[in-house]
Structure 1
């Protein structure tokens, strides 16, 4: 954990959705090390988020584990309300919660498409809408959403995921413009192939053009993505907004 004289996020509160594992977990750990009080979130994995919160506390940080379904407006409002009631503020929102999976277009039913879209896009919208007023009040806010390289490079069997992740580009830019003068930045971090154990619903990762060639010669780690989240969340990230930042080892070159 950083020393008291080198904790630029001390006094700030960060909500990291989907932070039970992988990128969300690493982002929560790094933000806590910078001094933020981190809200560790999941839809239903209480044991996992309590473990992450305990890990943060063991390093000298502060964390609160909370459950909520980000697709339900009342639960999102209750989540943000509880955070503000208990901590007095919300400064950093990391929209990481997502559902993936693979399915050919011919086999993709509308219900599945909508379920993916609801978590990735509607969840980010609801959380941003609920969180921004508190950021405006404090004159400081960082909204960081986690995109997907499928939305930019193209991929088969992931039309639903690619479409939803692409929508985050527009959401990010619109929020950046609307609230930039009020001390709020909004950015999108787009991971490429990230190694480690994936959830049972993630699938193999889709078939990318060129086989998903990685010039660096290896997959990334959740920490690679979380480091960019950390940088964007810092006070010194105030001149970076409306951007789509790729972390993919050269897999996709804009």
Structure 2
């Protein structure tokens, strides 16, 4: 019986992986044996810290500075990852913009910024990695959305629309490529204990609105992604997995 980690020999690319949930996912996939490419648009020092932690534990990691909204940047990132780590087996689309803006004051540039990362970026990344996955006859695509994609949220018209579209894209990819060894799933986080853009903003008491009585830990999202990419998730595709402490029960 093999004792090798379940993702040994595989290569994972995680976008938006310098901190918070993306960081936790990168570390968890590395712990499962994958070689991990850590993408960030601008947070090089934080991304290098994640890579250093992976290497210190005996894993392999590469840092990729790229704006995934830029198709050319994604192609260059894909080529660099393939050269340094190998063909990509796992794509985790975590990068996003989460700024809250009232719809009445939102301009089209702010709308497009969110769409360009969440949807255009997903399109560019999947187009880059899919040929290699199809050639290998296997691959996992994991998208991160958020429960507001299904419930809606004030101040998040742009991100709710983008993440809802990303869920639809994920299901369509799952349907189109299931017969060719590609699985695609969404993970939808609820409220998590992460570094916030506005740390001074009040945070509601978790026990008042989350049945399990606490905020989630990013490592719980990471464990879900690890499961979906491993043998335990082998018969799961086209699904949205909600990790939200029971706040929403779909």
TM-score in terms of structure 1 length: 0.92
- Equivalent position of 1:74 in the other structure: 72
1:164 matches 2:162: yes
- Equivalent position of 1:146 in the other structure: 144
1:220 matches 2:216: yes
What RMSD, in angstroms, separates the aligned Cα atoms of the two structures?
2.0
Q: After superposition, where does 1:53-64 map in structure 2 within 5 Å?
A: 53-64=51-62
Alpha-carbon spacing, 1:234–1:71, altered in 2? closer, same or farther (3 Å): same
Alpha-carbon spacing, 1:133–1:228, altered in 2? closer, same or farther (3 Å): same
Provide the rounded CA distance (Å) in 2 between the counterparts of 1:234 and 1:89: 17
Provide the rounded CA distance (Å) in 2 between the counterparts of 1:100 and 1:6: 38
> Which deviations, in whole Å up to 9, do the C-alpha atoms of 1:40-98 show, x marking residues without a partner?
11001111111000001111111111110000000001111111222331100000001
- Equivalent position of 1:103 in the other structure: 101
> Which deviations, in whole Å up to 9, do the C-alpha atoms of 1:101-153 show, x marking residues without a partner?
11111011111001011111111111011111111111110000000111112
Alpha-carbon spacing, 1:204–1:119, altered in 2? closer, same or farther (3 Å): farther
- Equivalent position of 2:245 in the other structure: 249
Contact 1:18 1:41 in 2 (8 A): yes
Deviation at 1:196, TM superposition (A): 2.9
**Structure 1 stretches lacking a partner, 5+ long:** none
Alpha-carbon spacing, 1:212–1:88, altered in 2? closer, same or farther (3 Å): same
Runs of 4+ in 1 over 6 A off after TM superposition: none
- Equivalent position of 1:134 in the other structure: 132
TM-score in terms of structure 2 length: 0.94
> Which deviations, in whole Å up to 9, do the C-alpha atoms of 1:212-235 show, x marking residues without a partner?
821111111111111111101113
Tell me the number of residue pairs that the alignment of Structure 1 and Structure 2 aligns. Answer: 247
- Equivalent position of 1:6 in the other structure: 4
Deviation at 1:27, TM superposition (A): 0.5
Question: In structure 1, the residue corresponding to 2:153 is in which secondary structure?
Answer: coil
Question: In structure 1, the residue corresponding to 2:212 is in which secondary structure?
Answer: coil
- Equivalent position of 2:179 in the other structure: 181
> Which deviations, in whole Å up to 9, do the C-alpha atoms of 1:162-196 show, x marking residues without a partner?
11110011100110011111111000000000113
**Structure 2 stretches lacking a partner, 5+ long:** none
> Which deviations, in whole Å up to 9, do the C-alpha atoms of 1:197-218 show, x marking residues without a partner?
2235x995999xxx98211111
- Equivalent position of 1:236 in the other structure: 232
Question: In structure 2, the residue corresponding to 1:241 is in which secondary structure?
Answer: coil
Of 112, 118, 121 in structure 2, the residue corresponding to residue 120 of structure 1 is 118
Alpha-carbon spacing, 1:251–1:120, altered in 2? closer, same or farther (3 Å): same
- Equivalent position of 1:89 in the other structure: 87
Deviation at 1:17, TM superposition (A): 0.5
